[in-house]
Structure 1
């Protein structure tokens, strides 16, 4: 009779790395889908007023946002407490709105330009004079589609 012999080495077999690229690409795809890119960081307070009847706007790429309100706590020492306007990532003046609208129109295709909507995100505490000045600057720039962004809730509370 013969004896069963064990192989000379008791080492573990090498780990197969054949599926490693699949795992890496699956993780990459997951993070690309799950990550939200922030368009701009707010330098102003943005406590929106409430409204009972609200609607969601359609295509996000056809909306340009103008923020208005007092500077946030981290920017109060630099900009004071007076309500300011923020266009994208920088604080601006009323005179900069026309240039902002022109730049947004230039970045869109020609057939999308008539569909552009300006969304005003105005803080509750902002006086109506600043909002009126923004509206006048938008009229001068030829941007007549304006939307006021609110949060859902009772307007009376």
Structure 2
């Protein structure tokens, strides 16, 4: 008698080939490593933001430029002293550097979104309002009118 082959339909679905699974996992890992943007700013000033009760979260962080104000960290106290300093990006700066910092950030943003740029002030709670007023004046002169003050949620006692 002759032997008949079984049809492919009666065998069921073939087993899943797992030989390429490590390659797929590696590609996913590599993809997320490339896509994820890590913090590129090293804080050189101590910033303990004040607490607030009514907070809103910023929507698009790529449209935000951060201005940090506080006393230099221990690492930089020898060079910059203990008075509050301004940090723009990853550098210490003066009031005169603010317009150039804003312009550099504006060049990285598409032209349609440039009107939505917000300046976020992360200011230490112990800093006097004189410095804050000077920064606001410099922002106003540079035509940066959208200002945000960073704060942390109010802790209930």
Which category describes the TM-score, using the shorter chain as reference length? 0.7 to 0.9
Q: Mapping of 1:1-157 within 5 angstroms?
A: 19-29=21-31, 31-32=33-34, 37-153=38-154
Is the alpha carbon distance of 1:95 and 1:52 closer, same or farther for their aligned partners in structure 2, counting shifts above 3 Å?
A: same
Is the alpha carbon distance of 1:113 and 1:17 closer, same or farther for their aligned partners in structure 2, counting shifts above 3 Å?
A: same
> 2:151 and 2:22 mapped to 1: Cα distance?
47
Is the alpha carbon distance of 1:26 and 1:86 closer, same or farther for their aligned partners in structure 2, counting shifts above 3 Å?
A: same
* 1:65 CA displacement: 0.5
Unpaired segments ≥5 residues, structure 2: 1-17
- Count of matched residue pairs: 140
| TM-score of the aligned structures, taking structure 2 as reference length | 0.81
> 2:99 and 2:43 mapped to 1: Cα distance?
21
| TM-score of the aligned structures, taking structure 1 as reference length | 0.81
* 1:106 CA displacement: 1.5
Q: Deviations over 1:1-32 (max 9, x none)?
A: xxxxxxxxxxxxxxx97554334324324545
CA root-mean-square deviation: 2.2
Unpaired segments ≥5 residues, structure 1: 1-15
Is the alpha carbon distance of 1:128 and 1:112 closer, same or farther for their aligned partners in structure 2, counting shifts above 3 Å?
A: same
* 1:125 CA displacement: 0.9
Q: Secondary structure at the match of 2:54?
A: coil
